[in-house]
Chains A and B, each alone.
Chain A
Amino acid sequence: MVSKALIAASTKPMILSILQSGENYGYQIIQKVKSISGGELEWSDGMLYPVLHRLEKDGLINSKWRISAEGRRRKYYSLTELGRIELSLEMQQWMSVHEALSRLWKPSQAYSA
């Protein structure tokens, strides 16, 4: 299980990454996170929505109400241009953290470098 703090920190890049492959709605996003992480990342479902709203307010994503095939109203979110830039910045940051940790966890390489 991943800690709460880490989940909170990773929510934003996670959502942006999922939306990169096209527009989506809340329930689907959560399902995707669950399946990708193999259940390791467990979000409290309700908490996703405030985050989505904040991202929208910050201009990183757009939302649109649609009627789905089953006739249910769903709010679809999609990435904005600003969101794409934000995502690439997030990716760099996460990758540099990832690399640093990877090196630390292989002592011989880390010290020789």
Chain B
Amino acid sequence: MTFELEEAIRKWRGTLYKNEAFEDGYVEELESHLRDEIEAAQASGTDVKSAFYRAVENLGIAEEIGAEFHKTQTRRLSGRSPWDPPRMVPALMWSYIRLTLRKIRHQKGYSLINIVGLALGMACCILILSWVQDEYSYDRFHKNAHRIFRVNSEIHAGGEVSYTAGSPAPIGKALVQEYPEVLRAVRVQAGWERWNFNYGDIDFTKHKLAAVDACFFEIFQFPFLKGDPKTALQDPHSIVLTESLAKLCFGDEDPMGKVIRKDDDVDMLVTGVIADIPRNSHLQFDYAFPAENMRQWRESKLDSWDYLQFATYIEIAENVDTAELNQKIRDIAQRHSTGSRVVVTLQPLTDIHLNSSHMNFWMTPYPNPGNKTFVMVFTLVAVCVLLTACINFMNLATARYATRAKEVGMRKVVGARRTDLIKQFMGESCVLAFISLGIAILLVMLLLPAFNQLSGKEMSFDLKGNLFLWLGLLAIALFTGLVSGSYPSLFLSSFSPTQVFRIVSYLGAYRDGRLRKVLVVVQFIFTIALIICTTVIYSQLHFIHNKDLGYDSKNIITFAAYGNFRRDFASVRTELLQDPHIINACSAFPPSSGIGRPTIQVDWEGKDPAREVRFYSDYGDYDFLDTFSLQMAAGRFYSRDYPTDADNFVVNETAVKLMGYTDPIGKRFTFKEKKGRIIGVVKDYHGGSLHEPIRPMVIEHGQGFFVCVKYQAGAAAETVAFLEKKWGKFVPGEPFQYRFVDESIQNFYQTERRVGRIIRSFTILAVFIACLGLFGLASFMAERRTKEIGIRKVMGARVGGIIVMLSKEFIKWVLMANLIAWPVGYFLTRRWLQGFAYRIALGWEIFLFSALLALFIAVLTVSYQAVRAATANPVQSLRYE
């Protein structure tokens, strides 16, 4: 056979190409070298064949050259060779996924517990986090939201500070003039109803107004559908409607330029239509008009520094140090109006929703402010529930590891590296997590309407166009997958194959699963803490509901005193009492309308002149006492039999205590420039909510803004019908709006009840998830000890003894969890309870109850498996291998 040089070189090149270190250019260069060498050898008389072989030998071994080439490559951080596939997608990914699905099919019960637990946890987490996100989203839709601030007032008087969202009416103008960094200011009253606007038959009495300055729509960028935000409110007789109100009034006609009537005498021109106000705006209104109008209508004192009925919002320049600005403007009210007790502070617009619950909103009602503590607690709950689900997953996975240990051993023997195994287990749990995520999303879609009802929100689960939510969900799934997979994968992969195959050693390791115990304990800490929170919230709500407020709130209707109800109440009252269902009626400020109006203009016999105290007052006429079943502590109430009573006073017990009288009757008392004597002391009653302590009160004799009607129990419908008729007679043209006093009281605690319901739901879910985990663990343990139980039974152990043996350990864990859950629960609930002036004591019963409940649930969960294992026939368990 003759030697073919070209053929030999081709083959040689082939061997080089097999080595992945060589790239095209490298091989070509080496080939060029080889040919030079061969030619040189041939020139000196060597034959082709030996020239070729010598040249090849001189060049060296392909692998060694390849390794040298590799070294010249830039070193990668991972140390990965350039010819290895990138690690983001493990080579065996599809195999892992196939394997996972096979595992799910083979171990249906276990997989179901795992997936359902995770899915529930994730669904909870998604729901709560979307609630939290919604709470934080308030007012952020204005592009310049970060530059808008509300000017709040602190009123320092009588040794107390009260906070209000209103500020001195001229303050906006002053701020703009004095501080260049304040660009614009606007006064706002929004949220009121009952203004008498109308368009033909459609009146606006049930729609919310906004009385604002002209630049309102330049600062607050509510989108205009028609009209120009800059000029819409320039004319004092202009009005801007929301889309739905415009539609209601004009249908499909163009609303621009239409005339809306106010009080049948002033014409307002529609100059703009804005989109409906988003739910997550703290300003809510249906129509807006210039506040200047109110000068005529309400004699508002728009230039008075003592007039705090408007909220003022300012827009500041970019990059202004707000802390510094806040300092500079603190005393602006005192500078402009000597003796003013108002200190102003700036509150960022985006902070208003979550941080306004301590504020009075006199003329800009904001009935449902958020609560930062709740947001915090809820976030915590979300994380806890998700962690509980993750812990479950980890527990079950590690508990089952004995069945996988051989697989790990096999994989190691055939060459799997530890990183491969970690990848496999992580991958497996990630696949499970993503399956759970799918189910969780379905669950969220299913549960969202119920959750909206629970939380009073109108959230929608819009996956389209909500990138943030999508990424959040994926992150949650990945997080859950990785955390859940971390322990089993790191733990399992650490065994050497020899360990794994020796059954004895892994049983030992299994018994020693200390981390798993810790995980179960942590899980129960969450659960018990949640149970404590729920119990405390519900006990407090129960306490509130049953607390003797000092007056009878049942069967009383209140409504605003308009028309004759105000002008000639005495004769109206006689007319009302003719109805057999009506027991009593009075004109007053009902206790359910708040804690009363504060004043420091109060003086009494023997008062230290330097002392400044705050008294609160409500109006009440002769029948106030009987209508609300109030009790007298001393003296008597205002009576028609004593004509001078109108000049005297009835105070409450707290006021007497404050003044330091032992015998207050007949003492001289001055209240708001009215001088008189104390004729009676009424027993303390709670005006307003139980968040507030009882204040020193004066019940001023006179008519209140409300008519209160006490009717016979069970006659609510008849009474309302009767009153409606009378209302139509005395206040024609106005709709009859009324409230039941006991309902108004319940409204004080709307947020609490809502939060209570939410926390209760999630506690139940968390308990359920924890139980799922416990159930899985217990069944696994019972299964592992089948033989032991069989032998014990053969040796004479009783069923009861075996059940105790199997449950003992779980009970120990739950008890241990209590030790930590108690202080956690105590800390959380105490903080919440401090928001109530009247609250339940955090007694040991609550903690004991929570502990027993958790224990009961745990035992119930475990005992099913324990009983099943204990009553099994030993013949079968021992025969089975």
Contacts and interface: CB of A to CB of B under 8 A. Distances in A.
B64 to A, nearest CB: 7
Nearest to A72: B32
Nearest to B69: A50
Contacts of B55: 45
A45 to B, nearest CB: 4
A50 B59 CA distance: 12
A27 B37 contact: yes
A57 B61 CA distance: 23
B462 interface: no
A20 to B, nearest CB: 21
Interface SS majority for chain B: helix
Contact of A73 (B26, B28, B30, B59): B28
B72 interface: yes
**Contact residues on A (Cβ < 8 Å of other chain), bracket:** 10 to 19
Interface residues of B, number: 22
B523 to A, nearest CB: 55
A27 B34 CA distance: 8
A45 B62 CA distance: 12
Contact of B33 (A44, A45, A50, A53): A45
A26 B29 contact: yes
Contacts of B134: none
B33 A26 contact: yes
B32 A75 contact: yes
Contact of A46 (B28, B35, B60, B74): B60
Nearest to B32: A74
Given A27-B36, A27-B37, A57-B72, A49 B29 contact: yes
A19 B291 CA distance: 89
Contact of A49 (B33, B35, B37, B58): B33
Contact of B26 (A25, A27, A53): A53
A46 B36 contact: no
Interface string B44-57: 00000000000100
A45 B28 contact: no
B71 A27 contact: no
A74 B28 CA distance: 9
A46 B32 CA distance: 12
Contacts of A74: 32
Contacts of A45: 33, 37, 55, 58-60
A25 B28 CA distance: 13
A46 B26 CA distance: 11
B12 to A, nearest CB: 12
A48 to B, nearest CB: 8
A45 B58 CA distance: 6
A41 to B, nearest CB: 14
A53 B60 contact: no
A31 to B, nearest CB: 8
B68 interface: yes
B56 to A, nearest CB: 9
A2 B29 CA distance: 27
Interface of A: 25-27, 44-47, 49-51, 53-54, 57, 72-75
Interface of B: 25-26, 28-30, 32-33, 35-37, 55, 58-61, 64-65, 68-69, 71-72, 74
Closest 3 CB pairs of A and B: A50-B68, A46-B60, A46-B59
23 contacts: A25-B32, A26-B29, A26-B32, A26-B33, A27-B32, A27-B33, A44-B60, A45-B37, A45-B58, A45-B59, A49-B26, A49-B69, A50-B65, A50-B71, A50-B72, A51-B68, A57-B74, A72-B32, A73-B32, A74-B32, A75-B25, A75-B29, A75-B32
